[in-house]
Amino acid sequence: MTKNTKAHTAVLGANFIFGANYAIVKYVTPSFLHPFALNVVRILVSLGLFWFLFLFKPAKVKIQKQHIPRFLLCALTGVVINQIFFIKGVSLTTPIHSALLSLATPIFITIIAAWLLREGFTWMKFAGLVLGVGGAAMLILLKDSVHSGEDLLLGDIMVLINAISYSFYLVLVRPLMKTYSGIQVLRWIFTFGSVVILPFGMQEFLSTNWSAFDLSHWIALGVIAVGATFLAYLLNVYGISIIGASATGAYIYTQPVFAAVIAVIFAGEHFSLVKLVAAILIFSGVYLANVKKRNSNADDTD
C-alpha cells in the first residue's frame, strides 16, 4: 500500500468515525450522561493521550510568543465553542440533522477565509452560501415528520453554531500548521481549551451516576473519547501531511452518508423528503462555494 493510499484510507476512516459519532453521542446523552460531563470526558482522555505522545515525539519547535493569541483563538473556536455546542446540540436534535448541518462547514470556511485571509469572494461563492444556508434553514425551521419540538430547533441551531465555530478554527489554524507539527498544535489547543471546558462541566461530571452504565455505554464513551476525539484528529493530521488540506477536507462530504446509514440502521431514524431536499441544497452550496480550486501548492502547506 502506497503512502498516498494509506493517507486516503486514514482520512476516510476519520470521517467514518465522525459520521458514526452523531448516533453514538445521541446514545449516551442526555439519557445517561449530561452533555457537559461528556465534554469533560473527551477533553481529559484526549488531552492525556496527546501529552502521552509527547514522550515519543517531543516538539522540535517551541511555541513563539507571537503565536500564543492564535493558539488561544484556535482553542476557543476549535475546542471550547465547538465541543460544547456540538455535544449539547446533538443531544437535542437527531443524528441526520446534525450531520447535514455540519456539512455546511466548507461553505463557512470559504466565507470566513474571504473575510480574514482576503481570499476572493465571487458571485458563485455567494450563490453557494445562499443555497447552503437555505438548506440549513429548511432543516431548522421545518418540522421533522418523526421528531419535532423546541429541543429539535435549539439543537439544530447549536449544531450550526458549532459548524461556524469549527470553520473559524480551520481558517485560524492554517498559519500554525506551517510552523508547528500537527500533533504539537493539537496538544496545545486542547491544553488551552481544557482551562475552560473542565470547570464548565466538572459539576455535571462529578454528579454522573456511573453505576447506571452498562457495557455498551462504556464502549460508546470510549469510541467518543478515544475514537472521535483523539484518533480521528490524528488521522486527519496524517492525511493533511501526505495529501494536503484540500483532499483531506473533501472527505467531510462522506460524513452525512455514514451518519445517515448508521442512524437509520441503529437509531431507527427516517430519511424524509425534507432531509433529502435540504441535503441537495447544502451539497450544491458546497460545490458552488468551492468550484474554483485554490492553488494546490498553497493547500499542501496548510
pLDDT of residue 60: 76
30 cis-preceded (ω within 30 degrees of 0): yes
Residue 221: what pLDDT? Answer: 93
Return the residue matching grid coordinates 441503529. Answer: 266
Q: Which three cell numbers stand for residue 28?
A: 449516551
State the cell numbers at 43: 477533553
pLDDT at 247: 63
The 3-class SS string of the chain reads CCHHHHHHHHHHHHHHHHHHHHHHHHHHCCCCCCHHHHHHHHHHHHHHHHHHHCCCCCCCCCCCHHHHHHHHHHHHHHHHHHHHHHHHHHHHCCHHHHHHHHCCHHHHHHHHHHHHCCCCCCHHHHHHHHHHHHHHHHHHHCCCCCCCCHHHHHHHHHHHHHHHHHHHHHHHCHHHHCCCCHHHHHHHHHHHHHHHHHHHHHHHHHCCCHHHCCHHHHHHHHHHHHHHHHHHHHHHHHHHHHHHHHHHHHHHHHHHHHHHHHHHHHCCCCCCHHHHHHHHHHHHHHHHHCCCCCCHHHHHCC
pLDDT in tens, the chain (302 residues): 788 888 889 988 988 898 888 888 888 888 889 999 999 999 999 999 999 988 887 777 888 999 999 999 999 998 999 889 989 888 888 777 777 777 666 666 666 666 665 555 577 767 776 776 677 666 656 655 444 444 777 888 888 888 888 778 877 887 887 888 888 888 999 999 999 999 989 999 999 999 989 999 999 999 999 998 889 888 887 887 777 665 676 677 677 777 777 777 766 666 667 767 777 776 777 677 656 544 444 444 33
pLDDT at 126: 72
Phi, psi at 59, each rounded to 5°:
-70, 135
What pLDDT sits at residue 269? 64
pTM to 2 decimals? 0.74
- Name the one residue in this structure whose C-alpha cell is 435549539: 154
pLDDT at 293: 47
Reported as a single tens digit per residue, the pLDDT across 44-57 is: 999 999 999 888 87
pLDDT, position 301: 37
Type of residue numbered 113: A
In this structure, is the dihedral angle defined by the CA atoms of residues 297, 181, 258 and 268, taken in order, positive or negative? negative
pLDDT for 245 equals 60
Is residue 199 reached through a cis peptide bond, with omega within 30 degrees of 0 on the bond before it?
no
Nearest Cα neighbor of 76 from 66, 89, 85 is 85
Q: Which residues contact 212 (CB under 8 A, 6 or more apart)?
A: 32
Q: What gap in Å lies between CA 260 and CA 251, rounded to an integer? A: 15
User: Can you tell me the distance from the alpha carbon of 8 to that of 1, in angstroms, rounded to the nearest whole number?
Assistant: 11
Q: What is the pLDDT of residue 137?
A: 67
Backbone phi and psi for residue 266, each to the nearest 5 degrees, phi listed first:
-100, -25
Residue ranges per domain, the chain? 3-58+65-300
Residue pair 190/10 in contact (Cβ under 8 Å)? The answer is no
pLDDT given at position 270: 64
pLDDT of residue 142: 60
